[in-house]
Amino acid sequence: MKYAYFPGCSAESTARDMHQSTLAVAQSLGIQLVEPKGWTCCGATAGHQTDRVLAVALSAATLAKVKSLGLDLVVNCAACYNRMKVANHEVATNPQVRAKVAEAIGRDYEGSVKIRHLLEVLLEDIGVETIAGALRGSLAGMKIANYYGCLLVRPHDVTGFDDPENPTSLDRMVAAIGGTALEWPHKTECCGSGLSMSRTDVVVNLTDNIVGMAKAAGAECIAVSCPMCQINLDMRQLDVATIKGRRHDVPVLYITQLLGLCLGIPAGQLGLNKLMISPERIVKAVVAAA
Amino acid sequence: MAITISKNKASRGIAKRVRELTGVDLSACYQCRKCTSGCPVSGMARCTPAEMMRRLHLDQNDELLDGDLLWMCVSCETCSARCPMGIDVAAVMDALRKIASERGAAPTRSGASRRGGEGNVPLFNKAFLKTVEVFGRSYDIAMIAAYKLGSRKLMADTEKFPTMLKKRKIALLPPTGADRKTVRRIFKKTKENKAADK
């Protein structure tokens, strides 16, 4: 299976582990990913907080390139996925925005590229049975709090991802690789995302709430699919410890890292050394598949 | 929730501008406060999303832009997702931030919004977008440096840098390979549109 793949800016910096594990998992499952040449930033939160047309045009610039490839677009970063979906929706439903975007990017783009999150591709196109057949290891019942955050599920009429209040995509994936997906209330709470530097106080509070709840639910680790969720919940745990004196010590892994481990991919190729809260005990807990 | 607004100053048409920017029918809000219940930061802020909506109903003037929620809002869109009237409250917040920036009501000085608060979100957004404008993709190190210099929060998070460098968790070299030409064109057009708006 062949898809266009948008790594997103974080993939080259703070989320290289997400990128590495995505590529490793894709290769292992026979998914071919093609980066559109010259891809550019989706605009992120700073874009839409500043100017609507700027934000849509930044995403549309890459989408127009993908259109020429004639492939569906796979995105793993939840934030890029969200901005790309919003851009598609805006140009498709608002002729004024479409005209302004066309002027900005130098070509007309009407919103026709099909955008998929990697999880959707894994669950719908590849399927859990095929994945189960490829497994070399199992999470052996490991208790996992699946954290979806905001941007996969909202705004739901635009992203159309799973269920807006109780998504289960990560849960199904975790179950497929032998883990126990916990029922817990903070699946779609917000980690504070782009405010990590500009309002660290807010992000530290939110991280404390979310990771604290995961721990209370009995989680051995948290599974995510967004670089902002990952870095906030992982790195800001250090601040929760110093500022609030609570040491949660819960590793935060990308679902592609957990899946990769169970596919028998070495931890080094999954970027697991990049986590701030050590995932060592998670890596050790993976057992050979029966 | 008691709201006091001053009536001696003429309204500067914020509600009207929000309607223009978003297409949202503000009058659809009947103050059920579901947005506020789900808002992850309303417990930390001094005002709530429902209160912002009410202030818009009352056509409050620039004081509305002082609400600390404006720059604590994490853009999680829970408010929009749960509004029983389908109001895109998050889009209203985006519009209010844009209006605040246009009117110079956004935080400008180091670490300070006009009503206090610790961060400087507009500065962060500017620093982020500047790296996108130059490189076509965001460049964390340059963005962090610009934010630190501008906000004078030089020491924040520095204790994490050695570990991050050791783990190569952050890219040192600027991103390459992006179609910078198109991105510069987008920023140029945005500036022209902004000038035309005025």
What does the pLDDT look like over A84-123, one tens digit per residue?
A: 999 999 999 999 999 999 999 999 999 999 999 999 999 9
Mutation for A interface: B173, B182, B191, most A CBs within 10 A: B182
Q: Is B119 helix (H, G, I), strand (E, B) or coil?
A: coil
| Inter-chain Cβ pairs, chain A and chain B, closer than 8 A | 188
> Is B85 within 8 Å of B54 (Cβ atoms)?
no
Task: From residue B157, give the alpha-carbon distance in Å to each of A13, A238, A265.
Answer: 17, 10, 33
Mean pLDDT of A147-151: 95
* A230/A17 Cα distance (integer angstroms): 10
Residue B12 reports pLDDT greater than 90:
no
Query: Quick count: other Cβ atoms within 10 Å of Cβ B138?
Result: 26
Mean pLDDT of B23-48: 95
Task: From residue A273, give the alpha-carbon distance in Å to each of A251, A277, A279, B16.
Answer: 12, 10, 8, 52
pLDDT at B117: 44
Percent above pLDDT 90 for chain A: 97
Least confident of A205-219, B1-15, B21-35: B1-15
* A227/A224 Cα distance (integer angstroms): 8
Nearest residue in A to B135, CA atom: A40
Q: What is the pLDDT of residues A203-240, one digit of tens each?
A: 999 999 999 999 999 999 999 999 999 999 999 999 99
Residue B195 reports pLDDT greater than 70:
yes
* B76/B92 Cα distance (integer angstroms): 13
For chain A, helix (H) and strand (E) counts, in that order, are 13, 10
**Per-residue b or e along B158-183, where b marks 16 or more CB atoms closer than 10 Å to that residue's CB:** eeeeeebeeeebbbeebbeebbbebb
- Which has the closest alpha carbon to B153: A197, A233, A15, A219? A197
pLDDT at B118: 53
DSSP type of residue A36:
P
- Which has the closest alpha carbon to B85: B30, B20, B36? B30
**Reported confidence tier of residue B6, pLDDT bands at 50, 70, 90:** confident
Question: Minimal Cα–Cα distance from B100 to chain A, Å?
Answer: 10
Least confident of A68-72, A185-189, A243-247, B43-47: B43-47
Q: Which two tokens stand for residue A251?
A: 């590793």
Percent above pLDDT 90 for chain B: 68
Enter the ipTM: 0.95
pLDDT at A290: 64
DSSP type of residue A34:
E
Q: Is A37 exposed, middle or buried (0-12, 13-18, 19+ CB in 10 A)?
A: exposed
Residue A251 reports pLDDT greater than 50:
yes
Interface contact A41-B169, CB threshold 8 A = no
Q: What is the pLDDT of residues B78-119, one digit of tens each?
A: 999 999 999 999 999 999 999 988 887 666 543 344 433 456
Mutation for B interface: A156, A162, A199, most B CBs within 10 A: A199
> Is B105 within 8 Å of B65 (Cβ atoms)?
yes
Q: Which pairing describes strands A73-75 and A137-138: parallel, antiparallel, or unpaired?
A: unpaired
Average pLDDT, chain B: 89
Interface contact B140-A13, CB threshold 8 A = yes
Residue B28 reports pLDDT greater than 80:
yes
**Residues of B with CB below 8 A from A12's CB?**
137, 171, 175
Interface contact A198-B147, CB threshold 8 A = yes
Higher pLDDT, B194 or B33: B33
pLDDT at B156: 87
Question: Minimal Cα–Cα distance from B8 to chain A, Å?
Answer: 31
